[in-house]
Structure 1
Amino acid sequence: MVVILRRFVALYDWFEQLWEDRRRERVAANLLILAFLSSLILIELARLGWLPAGVASLLPKTHYYAISTALSMLLGLEVFGLVFSIAKSVSVSVGKQFEILSLILLRHSFSELVHFSEPLGWAEASQPVLLMLAYAGGGLSIFLLLGVYYKLQHHRAITRDKEAAADFIAVKKIISLLLLLIFFVIGAIDGLKYLNGNATNEFFSLFFTILIFSDVLIVLISLRYSSSYPVVFRNSGFAVATLLIRLALTAPPYFSVLLGIGAIAFAIGITFAYNRFENAEMQRSAHI
């Protein structure tokens, strides 16, 4: 059993090494550029009637969808990177989730462009522009608060026992590997739905739902290595933050922005309280 687990950990390390390769960043950027330009070209060809009817029916009618396509692919890459952050640190993983939420809000802002004609005109923008400002403002607020969140982080090992800490990291790597598998399965299902002409807006909300369960699982597993109240409360609180992010993804307009900002404010509060609690504990230990 131990040998099998080590092989899973080695497989995770191999995937992580590939992901962190700088050449991968260039390839990913080139793919995003290619997808964006290809979407623009295909949409234009469909509008001109130069594509078969079956293919044209799968394509949107406005060029603005090309922006949404590129941003959705970018978000997919960010979610993929989120999986690798789970094994490194719970706090880093939560921060990555907020990064993705801020990008999703920006994507929602761009998505409002589909209500506009080409070229853009103010007459039809009076209603959508309010939503665009709300989503963009929400993304900016989360971006600014993330700076506070990261500044407050003081990364500490869950236990002083190096062997136990290594075991905990190995377990998180296995969980991350399972999440990678789920990522590909959900992506494949979403892709098939799109090819069949069905809506494909469930990927991020579904994956974040799964993250809630994985966060709770990590909290429970962490009890094997530390039952310290501050650690348990912090990790449990971060799981609540993930839940709030999940709700923000499916909440009505404006409420989603408020939930997102509230979620990161909650995470900042947890981090601040955790740091104060830990500092107090260290001072008490020093006086004993």
Structure 2
Amino acid sequence: MFNFFLRHEKTITNWLLWLAFIVFVISIVSFVLGAVFNVPLPSRFVPTSLFAAIAPAISVLLVYELFALTLGTRGSFVSFVHREFEIISLIVLRDVFKQLDNLSVHVTNELLLDLVVISVGSLILYFLVEVLERIKQQIVTGNLDQSQVGTSKVMIGISHVVETVMLIYFIGIVLYEGVGWLLGVSGLGFSTQFLELVFAGLVVYNIINLFMVLIVSHTYETLFEHSALVLASSVVFITLSEPPHISVPMVVGALVFVVITLFLHGFTRGETLSWSFTKIKRKQDKSRKSKG
């Protein structure tokens, strides 16, 4: 099953991206029909404002990133972390539009504060994602010590089982939330509950992956680097239901911890700090990399 989705990854991701665009167009049309022409439509299908019309499309993009994250488990550790960062960034970005929607109805100091916190947090996350991309290209270009996992038939078998279970789990919760929303089930529709289910799965996967790596590698550096990801995903899971002025700083702090941990990858293995700074000063030329 996992290999089937892996073979058709490009096709499925293209479908999801087109679906995000179609959902956005439908949301705009529904808003116009409901607000301007007073066409009777179920309330869940009619955004309260143009800002709210963007949120469903971002939810589809979250599903796209989740799919790419799941299939990325066979890639490098940093690539997997990078995907988690992108998902968290999309969550924060979606919250920006939700706050704008709330402000279009009623302006309060609390809503303004939340909007400022979320906006600043999204900019910081954007910066962290770029730093992580450069770390992936220039500093942690391999799979840490996971290559030893790939030499054990038992570990390979366990990895494939865990990957397949995670894929089935994520497909299940996406279908559960999507179908439930279409049928009008209260509380469903890619809201906080959906995100909590997603990150509960990610926390479990990250912990299992940590133990699998530690079985074949006993270095303190590997323990710390993988534990940083467990910590970050756990903090996100715990703070998802908290108000933005609490959740956003906590999430940013956890991700800063991950970035610093991976930034020190070279230093903990004998390089100097100046070497790491030099490596991430300029983004690697992807076209030159592909030619090489």
- TM-score class, shorter: 0.7 to 0.9
Unaligned runs of 5+ in 1: 1-10, 281-288
Give the length in aligned residue pairs. Answer: 261
Residues 111-160 of structure 1, C-alpha deviation per residue, up to 9 Å, x if partnerless? 01322448xxxx83765343223212111101112222333341334266
Q: Which of the numbers 173, 183, 189 marks the counterpart of 2:170?
A: 183
Alignment partners' CA distance in 1, 2:7 and 2:261? 32
8 Å Cα contact 1:43/1:60 also seen in 2: yes
1:89 and 2:76 matched? yes
Seen in structure 2, the aligned counterparts of structure 1 residues 103 and 27 have a Cα distance that, compared at 3 Å, is same
Give the TM-score normalised by structure 2.
Answer: 0.78
Alignment partners' CA distance in 2, 1:111 and 1:72? 12
1:263 and 2:257 matched? no
1:77 and 2:60 matched? no
**Deviation, structure 1 residue 81:** 1.0
Partner in structure 1 of residue 126 of structure 2: 143
- Structure of larger gyration radius: 1
Alignment partners' CA distance in 2, 1:247 and 1:69? 23
Alignment partners' CA distance in 1, 2:205 and 2:12? 27
8 Å Cα contact 1:168/1:222 also seen in 2: no
1:164 and 2:151 matched? yes
Partner in structure 2 of residue 272 of structure 1: 263
Out of 128-137 and 95-104, give the one that drifted further.
128-137
Partner in structure 1 of residue 107 of structure 2: 124
**Deviation, structure 1 residue 256:** 1.4
CA RMSD in angstroms, aligned pairs only:
2.7
Question: After superposition, where does 1:1-288 map in structure 2 within 5 Å?
Answer: 11-19=1-9, 21=10, 23-47=11-35, 48-51=37-40, 55-60=41-46, 62-64=48-50, 65-117=52-104, 124=107, 127-152=110-135, 153-157=139-143, 158=145, 164=151, 168=155, 171-194=158-181, 195-200=183-188, 201=191, 202-279=193-270
Partner amino acid, structure 2, of 1:272? F
Give the TM-score normalised by structure 1.
Answer: 0.79
Identity of aligned residues (%): 23
Alignment partners' CA distance in 2, 1:159 and 1:211? 18
8 Å Cα contact 2:47/2:53 also seen in 1: no
Partner amino acid, structure 1, of 2:48? T
8 Å Cα contact 1:165/1:225 also seen in 2: no
Unaligned runs of 5+ in 2: 272-292
